[in-house]
Amino acid sequence: MNYLVAYISKTGTTEEIAKRIAKLLEERGDTAQAMPISTIGELSRYDRIILGSPVNGMKVLPEFDAFCKEKALASRASKDLFMVSYIFEKGRPMWKKALQKEKTRLSELLGARSAEIFGGRIDKEFPGFARFIFGTPKNLPLDIRNWEAVEAWAKHL
């Protein structure tokens, strides 16, 4: 099967996850490329497209949303979705609910076969007021990506 892992990344976190997914697909014998959405042209040669974006303001990035609506929707390939959020796993329930709502919206739009939200990474600790707003613990590591969860999801693609 020929896979495209199409992503947008602001800090490199989503890019690293996308590349790990592509590597895992290749290791099992499939063809896979991880590419930023800004470099993607024709999609017709792919059997399955895995789309990934970080979350900002409880939404995927606007450029990613536009790519999904303008390019990915036009493709007949099967689609999967992943989002990356630092606060999803350890934040307040209201933020988790907002992120789930965004995942559902985009997953339904794309007709995605699967959709997942993975923990992310930040460069420096949240200030106290941000930790309070988001409900994240004080000593939460800066990198909370769960590579085992990424690998488990990729195995089922």
**3-state class of 70 per DSSP?**
helix
Reference 116, options 37, 50, 35; nearest CA is: 50
pLDDT of residue 94: 93
CATH superfamily of 2-155: Flavodoxin domain (3.40.50.360)
pLDDT of residue 23: 98
pLDDT of residue 95: 93
To which residue do tokens 């990934």 refer?
52
How far apart CA 31 and CA 58 sit, in angstroms, is: 32
pLDDT of residue 29: 96
pLDDT of residue 60: 98
pLDDT of residue 1: 94
pLDDT of residue 131: 85
How far apart CA 58 and CA 103 sit, in angstroms, is: 10
70 and 29 in contact (C-beta within 8 Å)? Answer: no
pLDDT of residue 124: 87
pLDDT of residue 126: 86
pLDDT of residue 4: 98
Sequence ranges of the domains in the chain: 2-155
pTM of the model: 0.94
> pLDDT per position in the chain (157 positions), as tens?
999 999 999 999 999 999 999 999 999 999 999 999 999 999 999 999 999 999 998 999 999 999 999 999 999 999 999 999 999 988 989 999 999 999 999 999 999 999 999 999 998 888 888 888 898 988 899 999 999 999 999 999 9
